[in-house]
Structure 1
């Protein structure tokens, strides 16, 4: 199970946790949220339960469109895993991440009068799910662009911190290694050529000495 599926399950679970009390005990939830004790109207109960059903439907759609609950003959099993397998996964990811971002922002605006456990927990979970969703959008929505020559991900970089695994650093290392190989090859070729010249000089000196010996005998 990859990060995208974990994020989808966490989002669906968070929505279901919000929906259950609104669906079964809406009067208690509304009475907790009111500042003064009063009688809960039928419209408030209806809106609370409607909101709960909407959250449950949103959670189920998230599970269906993200591919966690497999649908028969909906897509090819050989297409891949995660976001590459289901064409509806990425739009679902964007929608749920936007929902968590808006929810976290709205809860943050409601914290100005005072802090409460319910609003604080909602802000924390919504912000956490938003961060995970953004991470999946940025890093998990496509495969890394691997270089054919170096094998490194082209999206990595060494700025602002040094990164020895970045594509540029690996290219520099490969270039330096190639330069060292060329230098060693040149040095070896020079040494071999110098050895050949020395051998030629030795042969010439031998021939000269032989010629001198023959001339002296004659």
Structure 2
């Protein structure tokens, strides 16, 4: 991470690190103690089968893989030795060309998982599902913020630095007009 990234990049990096940590916490539980995870989420206290243990550990390994992919392909962990400036979320950024798609996919994943965990909590009333819904919900909201407000550099004029999405009616951008006058006079 660069020495002084802008506020958007701080949120973006917090989101990618948060995603990796959240998925890693779940993965550790599923890999090291799958029977405990199954017991916490099961409706009735039944004996766990070897198939459940295998599937729990496999899910844990898959969560680790998703966390690592998120970190590498968003540019949070650089694949090169040069870390002079933050990655951009524009599609043509050579440092992290998959940052925007990974951000969108993981945000969708967190949103879908929030709904699923909350539905399970409503139906079964177990606290573990509510904790999952809260964790996924926080990650989904930060991801949604990053999707909505990320990549704004492409919407800035290279000439004036003004935001292209704004409209001057009923107020005019007098600073932009002054810059044009200065160029014409000089």
Quote the Cα distance in structure 1 between the aligned partners of 2:50 and 2:124.
Answer: 29
1:48 matched to 2:56? The reply is yes
Listed as ranges, the gaps of 5+ residues in structure 1 are: 157-166, 179-218
1:38 deviates by 2.6
1:57 matched to 2:36? The reply is no
Q: 1:122 aligns with which of 122, 126, 132?
A: 132
For normalisation by structure 1, the TM-score amounts to 0.65
Quote the Cα distance in structure 1 between the aligned partners of 2:62 and 2:163.
Answer: 41
1:169 deviates by 5.7
1:112 deviates by 2.3
Contact 2:12 2:146 in 1 (8 A): yes
Report the structure number with the largest CA radius of gyration. Answer: 1
The aligned counterpart of 2:182 is none
Quote the Cα distance in structure 2 between the aligned partners of 1:7 and 1:52.
Answer: 20
Quote the Cα distance in structure 2 between the aligned partners of 1:173 and 1:43.
Answer: 65
- Residues 15-42 of structure 1: per-residue CA shift (max 9 Å, x gap): 0011111110111221222233332110
Contact 2:23 2:64 in 1 (8 A): yes
Contact 1:101 1:127 in 2 (8 A): yes
Contact 1:150 1:171 in 2 (8 A): no
Higher relative contact order (CA 8 A, sep 6+): 2
Return 20-29 or 108-117, whichever deviates more.
108-117
The aligned counterpart of 2:183 is none
Q: Counting helix residues as a fraction of each chain, which structure ranks higher?
A: 1
RMSD: 2.9
The aligned counterpart of 1:211 is none
